[in-house]
Structure 1
Amino acid sequence: MNARSILEQVMKQAGSGRQQNAVGLDVQGLVGSLSSSLGGGGASQGTRGSGVDVKSLLGGGALGLLIGSKRGRKMGGKALKYGAIAGVGILAWKAWENSRGGAGKDEAREGQPMDRLEGASREQRSLELLQAVIMAARADGHIDDRERALLTEQIDAMGADAELHDWVEQQLIAPLDAEALARRADSPQAAREMYLVSVAVIDEQNPMERAWLDQLGGALGLDDAMRQELERQALGA
């Protein structure tokens, strides 16, 4: 699979999405336009008559579809936390250092941040984080068949290979299982990164999404202090 390449593109979208917040980007409206365009040639043609290039604004659309497109949200002040996806490794590591009052002698046991991984290790971490993002986006139960098809199409447009395509489709229909997701974390640092990207995606005002985040935090073995610090890092991203 080429999960690393796809995650890196999603991370770039997160960074650009934070900048787009300054002009009040309405994700719901853009995705609605994207959906309407499918009846006349597909997403690759952009939106008709609106003069808006959805693929340009959302970097292919996958992040916009994952983050709040069905919830009637605008990328307002809360959208700043989406930038946490772009800097997930650094921010999760910083959260650990802050919770310990600085790096300690047990640093080696924490695992490496995403940014320092190479080869198969980076590919595996990318897959873990992609799964966490997808599960968090599904936590409100509102991704329907049409939106699943759109999301898969957008990820394919990023260059997903056949294996990753099939994996994404499976993640979009698999039962939400925080314990199973947490078992994929191969280190404490991976666990922190999975929680951080989940914080970036969920709407904390939605009880179902908040419940998912609480379940995941428990399954990952993160104490209350660490969860609070990770959420603080996300909001300050």
Structure 2
Amino acid sequence: MKELQKLVGSLNKSGALSGFLGGVAGGGLTSLATSKKGKKVGKKALKYGALAAVGGLAWKAYQQYSQKSETEQAGQVQREYPPQSAQGAHSAKSVQDTHSTNNSGRTFDYTPARMPEQAFTEVVDDNNESGQLLLMRAMIAAAYADGHIDEAERQKIFASVENMELTVTEKAMLFDELRKPMTLSELVNTVPDAQTGIEVYAASVTAIDLQQAASTHYLEALANQLCIPTELVASIHNQLEHQ
């Protein structure tokens, strides 16, 4: 496991992860990394790798979701209470907690404005190899989920891996991961918390062919199992579209 984690780190830092997985899904990660509109995310991607770009995307989506939730709740308070009401002013500052439990009994908390940026950064930090490994596995699972990768495409992927500057052992481990990607339930069961769930979903979106109907079904099932609110899902897609 440690060797595979080292592999993720080397792929991430070298930019190979961005080129390899982004290329599989039509350049999602590559465009994210080189975006002019998303300069902050782009700079992080170029400096730290594709996984850092995913972390930045997830954080910006959560910020957008939080701001929209606070604005909507403030508007609701103003409709329910007179503008001069102290009770209304106080209520406008609070945002309703968002706890959801999936079919397996897993609970995720996506309460707006509660998670700091650091929580997202830690998921893709070099010291958190398990977080990096999980995102890479999420990308691979998504890239294969839509059934768009046929045998010819699979061979192209393997050929691209052969051309990477990796050791024989590292290539073998990556081939094994590619031959047997995680199932959706296996993926969800390895997600430890809400912020990681947001990044897993964001990583999956960047590595999947969004033009395929099967992709939509996969992402809907993933969001459902991770209990991600519809508004937050929309924010993730919005962030990716505007990079």
State the TM-score, normalized to the length of structure 1: 0.61
In structure 2, what residue type is equivalent to 1:4?
Answer: G
Q: What's the counterpart of residue 170 of structure 1? A: 176
Could you tell me whether the CA contact under 8 Å between 2:134 and 2:200 is conserved in 1? yes
Bigger Rg, structure 1 or 2 = 2
Could you tell me whether the CA contact under 8 Å between 1:182 and 1:219 is conserved in 2? yes
CA distance, structure 2, for counterparts of residue 165 and residue 224 of structure 1: 38
Could you tell me whether the CA contact under 8 Å between 1:113 and 1:190 is conserved in 2? no
Aligned residue for 1:225, secondary structure, equals helix
Deviation at 1:210, TM superposition (A): 1.0
Q: What's the counterpart of residue 234 of structure 2? A: 228
CA distance, structure 1, for counterparts of residue 237 and residue 184 of structure 2: 18
Correspondence for 2:24 among 41, 53, 66: 66
Could you tell me whether the CA contact under 8 Å between 2:139 and 2:207 is conserved in 1? yes
Deviation per CA, 1:171-196: give whole Å up to 9, x if none: 33336621211222233222111111
Q: What's the counterpart of residue 99 of structure 1? A: 65
Deviation at 1:218, TM superposition (A): 1.5
Deviation at 1:224, TM superposition (A): 0.8
Aligned residue for 1:112, secondary structure, equals helix
Correspondence for 1:214 among 215, 220, 231: 220
CA distance, structure 2, for counterparts of residue 6 and residue 173 of structure 1: 18
Equivalent residue runs for 1:194-205 within 5 Å? 194-205=200-211
Q: Unpaired runs of 5+ in structure 1?
A: 15-58, 69-74
**Which deviates more from structure 2 when the two are superposed, residues 104-113 or residues 215-224?**
104-113
Aligned residue for 2:179, secondary structure, equals coil
Distance 1:131 1:216, change over 3 A: same
Correspondence for 2:126 among 102, 118, 122: 118
Q: What's the counterpart of residue 4 of structure 1? A: 9
Q: Which runs of 4+ in 1 moved over 4 A?
A: 79-86, 102-105, 161-164
Q: What's the counterpart of residue 154 of structure 2? A: 148
CA distance, structure 2, for counterparts of residue 203 and residue 148 of structure 1: 15
Superposed CA RMSD: 3.5
Correspondence for 1:88 among 54, 71, 90: 54
Could you tell me whether the CA contact under 8 Å between 1:67 and 1:137 is conserved in 2? yes
Aligned residue for 1:128, secondary structure, equals helix
Count residues with an aligned counterpart.
Answer: 181
Q: Unpaired runs of 5+ in structure 2?
A: 36-40, 42-49, 71-110
Distance 1:124 1:175, change over 3 A: closer
Percent identity (aligned): 25
CA distance, structure 2, for counterparts of residue 194 and residue 175 of structure 1: 14
Distance 1:224 1:126, change over 3 A: same
Could you tell me whether the CA contact under 8 Å between 1:88 and 1:193 is conserved in 2? yes
**Which deviates more from structure 2 when the two are superposed, residues 204-213 or residues 100-109?**
100-109
In structure 2, what residue type is equivalent to 1:6?
Answer: L
Distance 1:163 1:223, change over 3 A: farther
